[in-house]
Amino acid sequence: MKQSEVKGYSATELKDRLAEVEQTYADMRRTHIVSPLDNPSQIKSLRRTIARIKTALNNQ
């Protein structure tokens, strides 16, 4: 998710999206611990998406 996409959401939508992305991130980390993911860079991408959403929430 790009910053321009994040700016289009309202505060409530951002909070909902944040909860969803954090859950996906936690699930992906657990899966990666047990057996390596095919594309571990997805974890990095989700971490950055979480940071973008949190930044947008703080700026509102």
Task: Domain of residue 22: give its range.
Answer: 3-59
Q: Is 11 exposed, middle or buried (0-12, 13-18, 19+ CB in 10 A)?
A: exposed
Considering its fold, how many domains does the chain have in total? 1
- CATH number, position 7: 1.10.287
pLDDT in tens, 28-59: 999 999 999 889 899 999 999 999 999 999 98
pLDDT computed for residue 44 by the predictor: 95
Q: Would you say residue 3 has pLDDT above 90? A: no
> Structure pTM?
0.88
Q: How far apart are CA 44 and CA 19, in angstroms?
A: 17
